[in-house]
Amino acid sequence: MATMKAAVFVSPGKIALRDKPVPEIGPLDALIRITTTTICGTDVHILKGEYPVAAGLTVGHEPVGIIEKLGSEVHGFKVGQRVIAGAITPSGHSNACLCGIGAQDGPDSPHGFKVAGGWKFGNTIDGSQAEFLRVPDAMANLSPIPDHLSDEQVLMCPDIMSTGFSGAERGNIKIGDTVVIFALGPIGLSAVAGAKLLGATKIIGVDSIPDRLNIARALGADHVINFKTHDPVQEILKLTDGRGVDVAIEALGVQQTFESSLRVLRPGGTLSSLGVYSSDLRLPLDAFGAGLGDFTIVSTLCPGGKERMRRLMEAVGSGRADLSNLVTHRFKLSEIEEAYDLFANQRDGVIKVAITP
């Protein structure tokens, strides 16, 4: 049996490179030879044991690669095509998918629901930080990469760009909106780009790392606030003549950014939450307007599926969104433990890393 290198979750605190069998595929699957992948903040949650996955699971959910093999029932693709698949891989045929929320794909039978059933790679099945990846429901999930785009140009599509843009989309941004993004990591920066792409005319980014504030400006932020030197709530009210913002995007996953997002919303505004939280949240009575504020709060999991990926690659290819400069560091798959160390500890100004087997 052929073997390959794969980054596996061993135990809390340890993700390590191991030899594993190259995945077998079924009739509806595809086997992808990974050419580039990356590490996500969620992988760091897994590393730290904050988000539980099975020991031995291959981690990673952001694949760029080449079709190595196709299941017998997969039509419309051919071996050798360059493709990406989304971090979320909807089956296409579940009730959730047929309702248009593929990220919540899952068993239709009555076992009680669970959230995020569409997130499979590196969560419930082996992931992309490996030499090969099995893609389930390949016809719904493989998306060919246009020839003129490099691996790194599309590397943000499977998760970062899809998630960040969805924060803007679910905020239902309209022309003339003022939008704030709290936390300018890869997701938040992508949300800045998404807000710009959707017609927000005043975009405010909040973080404390000068490099990130600068990238936010380059991606479309009209104003940036360093929360170490200025109170963001006060600054935002000042920047909006006291009106507050139409849409606030939370891109970190902690009480403070969530609460500040709520505090700066105009009546009738939308809080669009992208964070992965690790504790209960509080809606303070005043910030929530005692329930009388006509507020909307939405949480969104990264949309997946080949059509989403096609559209995001169109955004890249047309020059409308360029997130490739978020890749600050590059590693071989063999160096992935080192990459995790750098990324998890946010050293050396790292934003995203590119991993190549």
Considering only residues 7 through 26, tell me which ones interact with a second copy, judged by CB under 8 A: 26
Binders of a second copy among residues 144 to 163 (CB under 8 A) are none
| φ/ψ of residue 271, rounded to 5 | -100, 115
Least Cβ distance, residue 321 to a second copy (angstroms)? 8
- According to CB under 8 A, which residues from 34 to 73 bind a second copy? 72-73
Nearer to a second copy, 13 or 100 (CB): 100
Could you tell me the smallest distance in angstroms from the CB atom of residue 226 to a second copy?
A: 21
- Would you say 104 or 129 has its CB closer to a second copy? 104
> Do strands 64-70 and 223-226 pair parallel, antiparallel, or not at all (unpaired)?
unpaired
The interface with a second copy within residues 291-310 (CB under 8 A) comprises 291-301, 305-308, 310
Shorter beta-carbon distance to a second copy: residue 4 or 302 = 302
**Distance between CA 206 and CA 219 in Å, rounded?**
14
- SS3 call for 20: strand
Q: Which residue has the tokens 């499979």?
A: 120
- Please name the amino acid found at residue 218: A
CA distance 164 to 92: 23
Least distance CB 190 / a second copy (angstroms): 12
13/112 with CB nearer a second copy: 112
> Which of residues 28 and 354 has its CB atom nearest to a second copy in the complex?
28
Question: Which alpha helices (DSSP H) does 2-143 contain, by range?
Answer: 41-47, 95-98, 138-141
Residues 77-136 that bind a second copy (CB under 8 A): 90-93, 95-104, 106-117, 119
Both tokens assigned to 26: 């079924």
Taking CB under 8 A as the criterion, which residues in 210-229 touch a second copy? 222
DSSP state of 356: E
Number of alpha carbons in the 13 Å side-chain half-sphere of residue 253: 14
Q: At what angle do helices 210-219 and 186-197 cross, to 10 degrees?
A: 20
- Between 110 and 348, whose beta carbon lies closer to a second copy? 110
In angstroms, rounded to a whole number, what is the distance separating the alpha carbons of residues 119 and 101? Answer: 12
Considering the complex, state which of residue 265 and residue 353 has its C-beta at the smaller distance from a second copy.
265
Cα–Cα distance measured from residue 244 to residue 70, given in angstroms and rounded to the nearest whole number: 52
- Output the six-digit token pair for 4: 């390959």
Query: For a second copy, which residue of 63, 136, 185, 194 counts as binding (CB under 8 A)?
Result: 194
- Number of residues in contact with a second copy under rule CB under 8 A: 98
Strand partners, 69: 31
Which positions from 243 through 302 interact with a second copy, judged by CB under 8 A? Answer: 243-244, 253, 266-268, 273-285, 288-301
The minimum distance between CB 313 and a second copy, in angstroms, equals 9
Q: Which stretch binds a second copy (CB under 8 A): 59-67, 168-176, 204-212, 326-334?
A: 168-176
